[in-house]
Amino acid sequence: MFDLRDPSRLAGVVEEAAAAFGGLGLLVNNAGVPLKKPALEIGPADWDRVMATNLTGTFFLTQAAGRWFSKAGQSGAVINVSSTHALVGMADRAAYGIAKAGIVQMTRMLAIEWAPLGIRVNAVAPGRVDTEARAGSFAQPGYLDSTLARIPMGRLGSVEEVASAVAYLARPEASYITGQVLVLDGGVTAQ
């Protein structure tokens, strides 16, 4: 275990992983902390906690992996987990959405910069997904129904669907894809 908010530790984490697995071919950035709070109430500690994990830590871990790929002279893939909050506005999600939007732009910028090195950088942006962490929210009266009413497909996504999208972007068949964001939201952002 390591703390993503400690950039000084991240290069060592990548080296340890490469040593343990005999190399490195893929980094999936899936760490994140939520924050549901009105923008007028977000304090510096809230902001720093969300940004340090969701954006800053993700950048520096990705940088460490990029350095490893480059030094090893091998291609690699980075897949960032963003969110539909990066693509559409929503009340009470400012810090989270801004951090996830930063992930989307980081994906594009690094994809361009690292393409000559053979490093692909893509992202997935899930919408509402049925996870254990959301069970409490979905159990609140009316919350699930109002959520489903905003999703054209009328259902939540599954963890397996998100994992399958990540797995696809990691596969050799996706070797010509870089700088892209694959949105998994049941049609919400198409509206």
| Third-level CATH fold of 27-186 | Rossmann fold (3.40.50)
- On the question of pLDDT at 1 being above 80, the answer is no
CB 53 within 8 A of CB 3: no
pLDDT of residue 135: 86
Pick the range with the lowest mean pLDDT from 122-131, 133-142, 164-173. 133-142
Question: Annotated catalytic sites, by residue?
Answer: 96
Q: Which residue from 121, 119, 117, 87 is spatially nearest to 102, judged by alpha carbons?
A: 87
pTM: 0.95
Task: Name residue, tokens 């696809």.
Answer: 168
How many Cβ atoms from other residues are within 10 Å of residue 47's Cβ? 15
- What average pLDDT does the chain have? 96
DSSP assignment letter at 55? I
Q: 15-68 pLDDT, tens per residue? A: 999 999 999 999 999 999 999 999 999 999 999 999 999 999 999 999 999 999
pLDDT of residue 28: 98
Q: 151-184 pLDDT, tens per residue? A: 999 999 999 999 999 999 999 999 999 999 999 9
C-alpha to C-alpha distance for 85 and 128, rounded to whole angstroms: 10
C-alpha to C-alpha distance for 37 and 50, rounded to whole angstroms: 12
Q: What is the mean pLDDT of residues 82-104?
A: 97
- On the question of pLDDT at 107 being above 80, the answer is yes
- On the question of pLDDT at 138 being above 80, the answer is yes
Distances (CA, A) of 74 to 1, 42, 115: 26, 42, 12
Buried residues in 148-184 as b, exposed as e (16+ CB within 10 A): eeebeeeebbeeebbeebbeebbeeebeeebbbbbbb
| Rg of the chain (C-alpha set) | 17
